[in-house]
């Protein structure tokens, strides 16, 4: 492994700015590794749906903050002239005429587009097995899934095929694969990052965020993503500057542990690693107490009504009329719609479109969508109450470590349960970060830290202090 | 575009209105009263589209006024047009709606090639404006939404079924629309058409829309049901879609009323369905039945924030309000002493009211203003009929705009003043107006050039009257014998001799004087 690959993104940016590293050299090193993975097909990790053919002709001026740092971007971000397919057959080869705001901001800060990463189709999945372009493998164990839906982004960062990657999180799609791949992943406050140009799954939940090797990189990337965007009515001005974390201690920080996520359903090895992380926190000066999120057990049910409902509408535009797949030889309009969507969507996407369509149907709306929204309101209130008592909430990120490829594909419900710890924060719109906190069965375990809206700086500080104390070594996966 | 979620049967019955079906119709048991509610879609005259920055299109080449948002490209997001909200508030104020402090956009989901996202962003149970009334018809609600794209079907059928191909022009897609829904207070086809003209004038005065039916910036659907006269319950309704001229609306509604009447009188039942009126054949055909109706799966649009109306927005809308037709008619009646009929005629056709007021204000220096009622009569009764020979089916304007004629408002004012001062006769004034319409100019100059000045009651006229009596001795004799009508040929003779310059009343006085009657 080349030395440049061992640099964090922040370290690489500093080296380029100092003139000790050439942007071209860095880009070529990563491009070669990414291209090799793509060329390896099933023998590789299958992290990418597209890899840059050449280094960009001109790297931005080196005074740009992230000058010359390559960036891997989840497939569902629109990138002008570069395939953006959201892991779906229905958008195979689709070349958008514009670039997503989050990607454009990172490009303005000096990053160059290295690759597009594989994902579950339309971000629907927790294992990356729902991609039309094949499953991604976990670099810690090729027989295991990397998590999803940002599985390609997580695996690429863990395996050192990209210095960092952009992902999206709807119910855990950044945090859960980050946990399963032993890296850092942040879901920002809803509205902190523009959604413009993100191929939508569930509009009221989708949020872009960083997948990085360490907490400092996550803060660095987020710093260059946040802010109000005129193109996204739900985006907000971040109320403060994102700081690069330096905290080494947690003195006086009150951490709340919700009993709802530390009992049944959480694997023993995961709980063990989680308890060890709490011990680290105590040693760093944190006060740990139990908190209650009484409606959290209903979060998954509410989520699997709201997200499919929005998705059923968001995915209506894939009708074969203007772009993407259109079934050949359709006999009439309905036949064209039916066959295009039959051929273009995978099984999980169809399942969720049907779920969502049903939930919004006349006569069922109140019982499903209406009730789910009321649960969502209660969950947000639960968090507000909890944050009156504690500063941050900590949970395991996922109830298990990475599971085997094909292990859960036959049972959608057990797959959905993988999001049990991450979905409540998504429904509440609050930020949450996952950091690696140890191994179980030789596979990484994630620790999730959540805070009130726009508390990202506090999350980074706490995560940074714990990261330093835990000393997780992810180099194993970067072969 | 569909019916509001509030069921008609839940609404309070409208005030009783005179029924056209009663007079001379079938016996009371069989007499039916039409109950009509209108849904009007108005394209708003904003600079840009409802949810993106594309300029509105006026006949540009297809698909040149588009962007990722109005094409529904993956990843694109809507942002609501503040100007459209402003116009929506103005419409609400004009009809006296309650302006919702908070309203929300909903997604209305259905598949069609003119709908690029697979849903229309509209408003559902929390619209921008609630309630109100205009011209005696109650308004149910006013809300904002986006227009669909334009479909053209290639092939013989002209419709999507059976066409060889269909092509989509997205220039129109995303144009801001205000949907105005009335309560079912309209009772006849004629009333519907008249009321729509009032609405059109109101919207035009507000400046919120071009309100041109032929160009589709004003479109109307009608919900029609019949019920026995005297009943306060509502019958089964049908929805007549997208009629695009006042004449078609009137004909379509009349045809549907007749169709339902025939069904009911034959003991049948009206089926709830959506109908299409073909103005060519006069035929009404079913677009879809109640069972085939879409389930639009409305839900709040998660990509947009609620529209929160604050005092600043209300003040801004109020500042842009202008005098509306109903208020103008009142002012004409109250301040200028016009008859109610004249006041409405001029106020409800804004271009006539504008011309009338321009003429009143344009009295040349040194001249006294013409009497308002006479001027009103001459605008509506003399000038407009001379201009409305411009062809067309008359369904849109019902006459021409006098401001685009050769007759300057000040000229008409002078002419009417000369007439009122008896400086010219009515006949001469009409001749002058004929000339003005053709070639413009100043009335006084035309009067001078053509020698149309009224003759005073002096010796010249008396001589001509005497000559006329001599030439019409029989008639003169009959007048003497008490037959007043016999004066006609004598007066006619004088008028011929004077080329209409004589004042008819003065001639009659001289005739009677000379005959000693």
Which of helix, strand or coil describes residue B329? helix
The domain ranges of chain B are: 28-291+305-319, 325-423, 459-515
Which of helix, strand or coil describes residue B31? coil
Question: Residue B164 in contact with residue B157, Cβ under 8 Å?
Answer: no
Domains of chain A, first to last: 3-252+391-477 (3.90.1300.10), 297-372 (no CATH)
A48-51/A112-117 β-pairing = antiparallel
Measured CA to CA, the distance from residue A192 to residue A428 in angstroms comes to 14
Window 402-421 of A, Cβ < 8 Å to B? none
A7, A60, A64, A222, A406 from A11: Cα distances, Å: 6, 18, 14, 16, 38
Measured CA to CA, the distance from residue A419 to residue A266 in angstroms comes to 12
Count of all residues that appear for chain A in the document: 479
Whether residues A310 and B302 touch (CB distance < 8 A) is answered with yes
From chain A, pick out residues whose CB is under 8 angstroms from the CB of B79: 230-233
Active site residue A173: yes
Interface test with A, best of B66, B72, B73, B75 (most A CBs within 10 A): B75
What is the CB neighbour count within 10 angstroms for residue A347?
Answer: 11
Whether residues B74 and A230 touch (CB distance < 8 A) is answered with no
B237, B293, B295 from B3: Cα distances, Å: 11, 11, 12
From chain B, pick out residues whose CB is under 8 angstroms from the CB of A204: 302
Which among A74, A116, A144, A187 is annotated as catalytic?
Answer: A74
Measured CA to CA, the distance from residue A393 to residue B447 in angstroms comes to 95
For A330, the closest chain B residue by CA position comes to B165
From chain B, pick out residues whose CB is under 8 angstroms from the CB of A84: 74-75
Interface test with A, best of B74, B160, B169 (most A CBs within 10 A): B74
pLDDT at B396: 44
Q: Which residues pair with B223 in a beta bridge?
A: B37, B239
pLDDT at A57: 62
pLDDT at A3: 86
Active site residue A6: no
Taking 70 as the pLDDT cut, the residues of chain A under it are 1-2, 57-62
From chain A, pick out residues whose CB is under 8 angstroms from the CB of B303: 203, 232-234
The tokens for A413 are 């419900």
Q: Which of B74, B80, B111 is nearest residue A319 as measured by Cβ atoms?
A: B111
For A76, the closest chain B residue by CA position comes to B75
pLDDT at A62: 60
CATH number of B459-515: 1.10.10
> To the nearest 10°, the Cα dihedral for A359, A360, A366, A371?
50
pLDDT at B22: 41
For the stretch B294-297, contacts whose Cβ atoms lie closer than 8 Å and that sit 24 or more positions apart, written own/partner, are: B294/B2, B294/B110, B295/A361, B295/A362, B296/B2, B296/B108, B296/B109, B296/B110, B297/A312, B297/A313, B297/A357, B297/A360, B297/A361, B297/A362, B297/A365, B297/B107, B297/B109
Cβ contacts of A58 within 8 Å, gap of 6 or more: none
Cβ contacts of A395 within 8 Å, gap of 6 or more: A257, A258, A261, A262, A274, A421, A447, A448, A450
Which among A112, A173, A194, A312 is annotated as catalytic?
Answer: A173
Tell me the nearest-neighbour CA distance from A83 into chain B, angstroms. 12
Count of all residues that appear for chain B in the document: 517
Residue A159 DSSP code: T
The backbone torsions φ and ψ at residue A292, rounded to the nearest 5 degrees and listed phi first, read -115, 140
pLDDT at B6: 38
pLDDT at B1: 41
Q: Does B197 touch chain A (CB under 8 A)?
A: no
Q: What is the pLDDT of residues B156-172, one digit of tens each?
A: 666 777 778 889 999 99
The backbone torsions φ and ψ at residue A202, rounded to the nearest 5 degrees and listed phi first, read -130, 105
Whether residues A313 and B168 touch (CB distance < 8 A) is answered with no
Which among A127, A149, A235, A440 is annotated as catalytic?
Answer: A149
Window 224-253 of B, Cβ < 8 Å to A? none
Measured CA to CA, the distance from residue A148 to residue A211 in angstroms comes to 12
Measured CA to CA, the distance from residue B318 to residue B93 in angstroms comes to 8
Measured CA to CA, the distance from residue A468 to residue A477 in angstroms comes to 19
Containing A275, the helix (H) or strand (E) segment is helix A268-283
For A202, the closest chain B residue by CA position comes to B302
Smallest Cα–Cα separation from A250: which of A280, A288, A287, A286? A286
Burial group, residue A28, by CB count within 10 angstroms (0-12, 13-18, 19+): middle
Residue that has been written with the tokens 């069965």 in this structure? A441
Report CA torsion sign: B187, B188, B192, B195. Answer: negative
Question: Residue B270 in contact with residue B226, Cβ under 8 Å?
Answer: yes
Q: Does B443 touch chain A (CB under 8 A)?
A: no
The tokens for A459 are 């999350």
For chain B, 517 residues long, the average pLDDT of each consecutive 10-residue run is 38 42 46 96 97 94 97 98 98 96 97 97 97 95 97 78 86 98 97 93 93 90 95 93 86 95 94 90 86 89 97 96 90 94 90 92 78 94 80 45 90 91 87 92 89 73 86 87 86 84 81 83
Whether residues A333 and B113 touch (CB distance < 8 A) is answered with yes
Helices (H), ranges, B99-245: 189-206
B150-154/B165-169 β-pairing = antiparallel
Residue that has been written with the tokens 């007021």 in this structure? B357
If you write DSSP's letter for every residue of B271-293 in order, what string do you get?
PPEEEEE-TTT--EEEEEETTT-
Question: Residue A129 in contact with residue A53, Cβ under 8 Å?
Answer: no
pLDDT at A343: 97
The backbone torsions φ and ψ at residue B154, rounded to the nearest 5 degrees and listed phi first, read -90, 130
Interface test with B, best of A75, A322, A332, A353 (most B CBs within 10 A): A322
Please list, residue by residue across A276-313, b when 16 or more beta carbons sit within 10 angstroms of its beta carbon and e when fewer do. ebbebbeebebebeebebebbebbbebbbbbbbbbbbb
Measured CA to CA, the distance from residue B143 to residue B177 in angstroms comes to 8
Q: Does B370 touch chain A (CB under 8 A)?
A: no
For B304, the closest chain A residue by CA position comes to A233
pLDDT at B398: 46
The tokens for B34 are 């039409």
Active site residue A312: no
Report the largest interatomic distance among the alpha carbons of chain A, rounded to a whole angstrom.
Answer: 70
Cis upstream peptide for A149 (omega within 30°): yes
pLDDT at B300: 97
């Amino acid at each position: 492994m080349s030395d440049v690959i061992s640099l964090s993104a922040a370290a690489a940016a500093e080296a380029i700015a100092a003139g000790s590293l050439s942007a071209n050299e860095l880009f070529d090193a990563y491009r070669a590794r990414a291209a090799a993975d793509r060329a390896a097909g099933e023998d590789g990790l299958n992290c990418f749906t597209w890899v840059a053919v050449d280094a960009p002709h001109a790297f931005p001026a080196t005074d740009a903050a992230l000058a010359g740092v390559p960036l891997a971007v989840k497939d569902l971000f629109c990138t002008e002239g570069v395939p953006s397919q959201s892991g779906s057959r229905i958008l195979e080869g689709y070349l958008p005429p514009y670039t997503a705001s989050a990607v454009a901001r990172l490009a303005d800060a000096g990053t160059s587009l290295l690759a597009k990463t594989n994902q579950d189709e339309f971000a629907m999945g927790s294992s990356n097995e729902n991609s039309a372009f094949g499953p991604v493998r976990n670099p810690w164990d090729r027989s295991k899934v990397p998590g999803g839906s940002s599985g390609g982004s997580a695996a690429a960062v863990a395996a050192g095929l990209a210095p960092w990657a952009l992902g999206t999180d709807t119910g855990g799609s950044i945090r859960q694969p980050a946990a399963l791949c032993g890296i850092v992943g942040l879901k920002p406050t809803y509205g902190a990052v523009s959604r413009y140009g993100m191929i939508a799954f569930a509009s009221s939940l989708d949020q872009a965020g960083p997948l990085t090797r360490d907490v400092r990189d996550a803060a660095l990337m987020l710093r260059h993503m946040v802010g109000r965007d005129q193109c996204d009515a739900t985006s907000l001005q971040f109320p403060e500057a994102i700081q690069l974390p330096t905290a080494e201690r947690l003195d006086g920080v009150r951490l709340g542990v919700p009993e709802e996520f530390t009992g049944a359903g959480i694997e023993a090895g995961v709980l063990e690693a989680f308890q060890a992380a709490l011990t680290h926190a105590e040693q760093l000066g944190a006060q740990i107490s139990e908190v209650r999120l009484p409606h959290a057990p209903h979060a998954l049910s509410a989520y699997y009504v709201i997200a499919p409902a929005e998705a059923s509408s968001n995915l209506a535009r894939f009708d074969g009329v203007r772009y993407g797949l259109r079934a050949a030889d359709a006999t009439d309009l309905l036949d064209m719609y039916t066959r295009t969507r039959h051929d273009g969507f995978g099984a999980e996407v169809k399942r969720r479109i049907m779920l969502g369509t049903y939930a919004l149907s006349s006569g069922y709306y109140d019982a499903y969508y209406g009730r789910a929204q009321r649960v969502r309101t209660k969950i947000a209130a639960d968090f507000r109450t909890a944050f009156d008592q504690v500063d941050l909430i900590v949970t395991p990120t996922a109830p298990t470590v990475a599971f085997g490829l094909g292990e859960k594909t036959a049972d959608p419900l057990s797959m959905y349960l993988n999001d049990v710890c991450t979905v409540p924060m998504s429904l509440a719109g609050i930020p949450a970060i996952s950091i690696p906190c140890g191994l179980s069965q030789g596979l990484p375990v994630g620790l999730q830290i959540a805070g009130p809206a726009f508390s990202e700086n506090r999350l980074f500080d706490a995560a940074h202090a714990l990261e330093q104390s835990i000393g997780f070594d992810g180099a194993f996966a970067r072969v | 575009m569909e019916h509001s979620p509030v069921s008609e049967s839940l609404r309070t019955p409208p005030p009783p209105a005179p029924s056209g079906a009663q007079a001379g119709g079938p016996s009371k048991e069989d007499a039916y009263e039409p109950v009509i509610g209108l849904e009007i879609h108005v394209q708003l005259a904003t600079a840009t589209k409802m949810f993106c920055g594309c300029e509105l299109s006026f006949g540009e080449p297809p698909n040149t006024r588009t962007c990722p948002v109005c094409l529904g490209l993956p990843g694109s997001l809507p942002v609501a047009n503040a100007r459209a909200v402003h116009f929506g508030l103005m419409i609400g104020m004009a009809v006296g709606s309650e302006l919702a402090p908070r309203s929300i956009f909903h997604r209305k989901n259905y598949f069609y090639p003119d709908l690029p996202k697979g849903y229309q962003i509209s408003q559902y149970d929390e619209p921008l404006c609630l309630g109100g009334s205009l011209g005696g018809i109650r308004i149910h609600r006013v809300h904002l939404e986006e227009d669909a794209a334009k479909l053209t079907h290639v092939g013989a059928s002209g419709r999507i079924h059976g066409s060889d191909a269909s092509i989509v022009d997205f220039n129109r897609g995303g144009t801001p629309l205000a949907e105005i829904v009335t309560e079912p207070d309209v009772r006849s086809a004629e009333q519907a058409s008249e009321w729509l003209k009032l609405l059109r004038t109101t919207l035009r005065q507000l400046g919120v829309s071009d309100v041109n039916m032929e160009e589709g910036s004003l479109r109307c659907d009608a919900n029609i049901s019949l019920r026995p006269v005297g009943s306060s319950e509502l019958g089964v309704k049908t929805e007549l879609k997208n009629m695009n001229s006042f004449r078609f609306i009137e004909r379509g509604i009349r045809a549907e009323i007749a169709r339902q009447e025939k069904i009911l009188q034959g003991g049948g039942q009206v089926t709830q369905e959506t109908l299409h009126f073909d103005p060519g054949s006069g035929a009404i055909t079913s677009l879809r039945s109640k069972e085939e109706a879409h389930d639009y799966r409305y839900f709040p649009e998660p990509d947009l924030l609620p529209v929160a109306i604050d005092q600043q927005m209300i003040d801004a809308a109020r500042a842009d309000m202008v005098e509306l037709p109903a208020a103008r008619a009142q002012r004409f009646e109250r301040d200028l002493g016009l008859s109610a009929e004249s006041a409405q005629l001029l106020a409800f056709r804004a271009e006539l009211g504008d011309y009338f007021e321009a003429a009143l204000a344009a009295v040349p220096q040194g001249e006294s203003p013409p009497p308002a009622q006479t001027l009103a009569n001459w605008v509506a009764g003399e000038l407009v009929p001379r201009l409305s020979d411009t062809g067309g089916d008359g369904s849109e304007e019902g006459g021409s705009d006098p401001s685009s004629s050769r007759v300057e408002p000040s000229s008409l004012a002078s002419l009417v003043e000369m007439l009122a001062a008896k400086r010219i006769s009515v006949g001469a004034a009409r001749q002058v107006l004929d000339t003005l319409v053709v070639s413009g100019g100043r009335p006084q100059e035309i009067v001078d050039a053509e020698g149309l000045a009224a003759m005073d009651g002096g010796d010249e006229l008396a001589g001509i009257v005497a000559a006329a009596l001599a030439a019409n001795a029989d008639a003169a004799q009959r007048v003497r014998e008490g037959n007043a009508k016999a004066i006609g040929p004598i007066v006619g003779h004088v008028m011929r001799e004077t080329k209409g310059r004589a004042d008819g009343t003065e001639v009659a006085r001289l005739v009677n004087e000379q005959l000693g009657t």
